[in-house]
Amino acid sequence: MTEKQSSWKNHLILIPFSLLMIYPVIWWIGASFKSQAELSLPTLWPETYMWENYTNGWSYSSQYTFAKFFANTLIMEFWSVLGGVLTAALVGYGFGRLNFRFRNFWFSVLLMTLMLPSQVTVVPQYIMYNKLGLTDSYIPLILPHFFGGGAFFVFLVVQFIRGIPRELDEAAQIDGASVYAIFFRIIAPLIKPALFTVGIFTFLWSWDDFFAQLLYLSSVEKFTVGLGLRMFIDQFEVQWGQLLAMSLLSVAPSAIIFFLAQKHFVEGIATTGLKG
């Protein structure tokens, strides 16, 4: 069998599985245009397209619209990604390149936090932020990203940095470069794929962190997209058409960012796995 025939055979096998995987998304798109009555019918596409699901869902009320919820979420995401990328790079550089006392011990402690369930820290963190008067704000959602960005991200950057030859650092030191100059001029440009990966993961995980947003935000004017979607559900009725329409729009930023940065994301994951 030639290479071309083998490629066609692989595609014929993968296409049905791909269609099976994207079928829920296709149904989701069709359902977002259905009326409340049509949602119970076993049809993929509606007989009459209800564009009102998008217009009415976007303008949820005269006071609050999804434009406000999207703006709130994007502001929170900007600072979260900035903090996650910046501090993961700096902390990863410290563990990956600098020699300091108890470095291996503290790196082991950092890795041990990966095995700590997040549910264990929910109550202590909430009590701490509540006593500091920081609840009902974005600070509890943003601040953790400015402290290393998470153990997983630090580990990913450290592994990437360990694959960069130390001879580059030594050559820069001979030329009189400081520790900070080595980081900004040599290490930082070389770890861009890893930093893209950190940024994408931070954006996706922060965007989808409904529980933390529900826990710390109580004012409607500060609601994120996830909390805005929750407002379509009450004890009497669920506006399924509007809910599906807005939830479809809510995944658009994540999908766009992933596809635009897919090359860097794949490169960062693949090369990190090969680093020593």
Task: Give the pLDDT confidence of 95-105 residue by residue, as tens digits.
Answer: 988 888 888 99
Tokens of 243: 């809910």
DSSP 233: B
DSSP 84-148: HHHHHHHHHHHHHH---TTHHHHHHHHHHGGGS-HHHHHHHHHHHHHHTT--SSSHHHHGGGGTT
What is the rounded distance in angstroms from the CA atom of residue 72 to the CA atom of residue 224? Answer: 6
Cα separation, 259 vs 212, whole angstroms = 26
Q: What is the pLDDT of residue 7?
A: 72
pLDDT reading at 269 higher than 60? no
User: What are the counts of helices (DSSP H) followed by strands (DSSP E) for the chain?
Assistant: 16, 0
The string of pLDDT tens digits covering residues 44-74 is 888 888 888 888 888 877 688 889 999 999 9
52-274 CATH fold: MetI-like fold (1.10.3720)
- pLDDT on residue 273: 46
| SS3 state at 260 | helix
Q: Distance between CA atoms of 146 and 139, rounded to whole angstroms?
A: 11
Beta bridge partners of 230: none
- The rounded distance, in Å, linking the Cα atoms of 150 and 221 is 29
Instruction: Render pLDDT for 165-191 as a digit per residue (tens, 0 to 9).
Output: 888 888 888 888 888 888 888 888 888
